[in-house]
Structure 1
Amino acid sequence: MKKTKFLIATAILGIATFVAIAADHIDAPAVQGGTSDITDFYAFQGENTSNIAFVANIQGLLGSGSDTQNAAFDENVMIEFNIDNTGDNVEDLVIQAIARDGKMYVFGPTAPVQTGLNSTIVSNTANQVVVDITPYGQSAIVASSGGMMAFAGPRDDPFFMDFAQYGQIIGGNAASFNNPGTDTFAGSNVLSIVVEVPKSMIGGSGTINTWVESKRRQ
């Protein structure tokens, strides 16, 4: 793949000691309802405790029918996982994911060509894996290469929030959430990108800062 420059569209921040969760469901005006909108970001230790998994969910609140069946990764949008392993809040490593012709191409973790708002695809890195995008309703397709594993496709939205009760609390009509509450996101889907890599590829002391960005082709 040729090198292509991308410009940041939106970002969600998280700080992790191999556990991070951040969430935001289509309330950023610049990307609301768009193909670059990030809903959730997770980073956590894998089932294999020598690995760390990074998960980015985009295009939230997809319905369980045709909305999800027709949803697709935007080939003009790159998802970039940023990893700071020196504590200066500047990315030392990136993992980049971009869709092409029904496949998700994942590059990294590797040093970025440049830091900050602009990015160039690091397609010349030795760390890369290509996975077929899993169609809606089918079993997960997972690809692996060089110790890395990757998945891309629609999944049930894991985020739980009782927005109706939240509205009551904000409006002064309730003091707390119900137990159990009502999951506003039940039955809705997202498009997920999951990348699992050996911790040895990340380096550092074991505590990292990590965040994810969606970047649109210039």
Structure 2
Amino acid sequence: MKKSKILLATIFVALIGLITIAADHIDAPSASGTSADITDFYAFQGENTDNLVFVANVQGLLSPTATTTASFDENVMVEFNIDTNDDKVEDLVIQAIPRDGKMYFFGPYAPSQTGLNSTINEMATKSVVAISSSSAITSSQNGMQFFAGPRDDPFFMDFAQYGEIIGGNATAFNNPGADTFAGTNVLSIVVEVPKSEIGGSGTINTWVEAKAKQ
């Protein structure tokens, strides 16, 4: 059994409907520039409507040049948390851990402990996908699909216009706006899982955490 503790106390809570998005970029100095820095969390129904897709993007604002050498920190686990009974405590987790050019996924399974500390149950369902630096290498195992690697940052925000609005110099965003994140990349971890594995058709709460090896 391996134990991990939390590194980044940034948690994104989402109530699953059709699509839910939570975003944040580089406002946690201790994690900035590392794969512990969660930039975005997406949860949405898959093309196969019997599935849900979870996407955690980390290490944002990578230039194309920096992307070629960027890698997931092997001391950081990304954990998808799923609350099936609306008590705001995780009932299931899916854990993603990088090792030697591969991403190892455990779960979904009921964790032995909840909150800031996590234990990896190596007897839980495990799936592996190669970490891609270019093409979308995916893996389908145990009825789930996975991807890990760099991707264009999908989040859109016009920070310049936002600054003008906050400063009282504008009253609204432009249409179209200017994408501050255009040309920058993130490292993405993607999991597609059957709804039957995480609570069926009921409503769930979900959030993602980055946790450092103890």
TM-score normalised according to structure 1 size: 0.94
Give the aligned residue type for 2:31. Answer: V
Q: 3-state SS of the aligned residue for 2:30?
A: coil
1:163 alignment partner in structure 2: 159
Residues 125-164 of structure 1 correspond to what in structure 2 (within 5 A)?
125=124, 127-135=125-133, 138-164=134-160
Task: Kindly provide the amino acid, as one letter, of the partner of residue 206 in structure 1.
Answer: G
**Letter of the aligned partner of 2:107 in structure 1?**
G
In the alignment, is residue 6 of structure 1 matched against residue 16 of structure 2? no
Q: Which deviates more from structure 2 when the two are superposed, residues 25-34 or residues 145-154?
A: 25-34
3-state secondary structure, aligned to 1:106: strand
**Structure 1: 5+ residue runs without aligned partners?**
none
1:172 aligns with one of 164, 168, 171: 168
Deviations 1:166-205 (A, max 9, x none): 1111111111111000000000000000000100000155
Check conservation: 2:195, 2:201, Cα contact below 8 A.
no
C-alpha contact (below 8 Å) 2:113/2:119 kept by paired residues? yes
Query: 1:191 maps to what in 2?
Result: 187
Letter in 2 for 1:133: I
Which residue matches 1:216?
212
Cα gap change, 1:35 to 1:17, in 2 (>3 Å): closer
Amino acid corresponding to residue 210 of structure 2 in structure 1: S
In structure 1, the residue matched to 2:29 is 29
Q: Are the aligned partners of 1:22 and 1:41 in contact in 2 as well (CA < 8 Å)?
A: yes
CA offsets per residue over residues 12-42 of structure 1, 9 Å max, x none?
2222224321000011233222330000001
Change in Cα spacing, 1:199 to 1:205, as seen in structure 2 (3 Å) is: closer
- Displaced runs of 4 or more, over 4 A: none
Output the aligned Cα RMSD. 1.2
Q: Does 1:94 align with 2:93?
A: yes
The 3-state SS of whatever aligns with 1:70 is coil
> Alignment identity in percent?
68
Q: TM-score, normalised by structure 2?
A: 0.96
1:70 is the counterpart of 2:66 = no
> Aligned to 2:11, what secondary structure does the other structure show?
strand
What are the equivalent positions in structure 2 for 1:46-65 lying under 5 Å apart?
46-65=46-65
CA contact (8 A) 2:26 2:32 kept: yes
Figure out how many residues of one structure are paired with residues of the other and give that number: 212
Q: Distance in 1 between matches of 2:49 and 2:149?
A: 24
CA distance in 2, matches of 1:74, 1:112: 23
Q: Which amino acid aligns with 1:216?
A: A
Partners of 2:35 and 2:126 in 1: CA distance? 24
Does the 8 Å contact 1:134/1:153 carry over to 2?
A: yes
Residue 124 of structure 1 corresponds to 123
Unaligned runs of 5+ in 2: none
Q: Which amino acid aligns with 2:62?
A: L
